[in-house]
Amino acid sequence: MTGVILAGGENRRFPTLKGFIKTCGSTIIEKNLSLMKGMFDTVFISANMPEKYFFLGVPLVGDALPSQGPMSGIYSSLINAKEDCIFVVACDMPFVSGDVISLICRKHEEAYSTSNGVDAVIAIRNGEPQPLLGIYCKSVLPRLEDLILKGRTSMKRFLSEIKTNFIEESVIMTVDPAGTSFVNINTLEDYEKLMAIR
């Protein structure tokens, strides 16, 4: 499958592009790009400001439909991917684990071998689905397009309407007990708290 870094958010609550936040001496997007390149043959960045990411030297994908948050990025990435599925990681998640990515990919393979297929594979953390670290397949394109054009952009609702394989939290905890892979930085306050404990 194709690896995708979602970097197309509006970034209204943070003073700089969140992908360029530095943690542990590297920007989040550079760290995640390196991780994804080590796991997928093809990796690209979904961004509605592609000029900001040219220097990273990877393919860039802009929104094919009016920008509606992560849904638009996932839709555009699926259209541009040669493979049937994409693995998405948000650009503001600084501690994504390769073990978590591998586990989600294994669960995707298991779902295909034991059922009639699946549209998405998403982990549960703190009782909630984590839609920005997981797998989406091209089978969701018609539904995504319909929702985006109607402005119905709730990822949680979308996942409940398609064939989603939800990975139980207890399973995820076997490779990421503290759930650090799902930490994301939305505000300056989030960043300051994170730096205080790292």
Which domain range does residue 21 map to? 2-197
Helices 70-80 and 141-150: angle between axes, nearest 10 degrees: 140
* Secondary structure (H, E, C), 93-150: CCCCCHHHHHHHHHHHHHHHHHCCCCCEEEEEECCEEEEEEEEEEHHHHHHHHHHHHH
Taking CA atoms, 102 is separated from 116, 168, 181, in Å, by 22, 15, 12
Return d(Cα 55, Cα 194) in angstroms, integer. 27
- CATH code of the domain containing 31: 3.90.550.10
pLDDT at 88: 98
pLDDT at 175: 97
- Whether this model's pTM surpasses 0.85: yes
* pLDDT means over runs of 10, the chain (198 residues): 85 64 84 96 90 91 80 94 96 93 95 83 96 96 93 93 95 94 77 59
Backbone angles phi, psi at 53, to 5 degrees: -115, 5
pLDDT at 14: 53
Q: How many domains does the chain have?
A: 1
pLDDT at 18: 73
The runs of H, that is alpha helices, within the chain are: 28-37, 70-80, 98-114, 141-150, 155-161, 169-172, 188-197
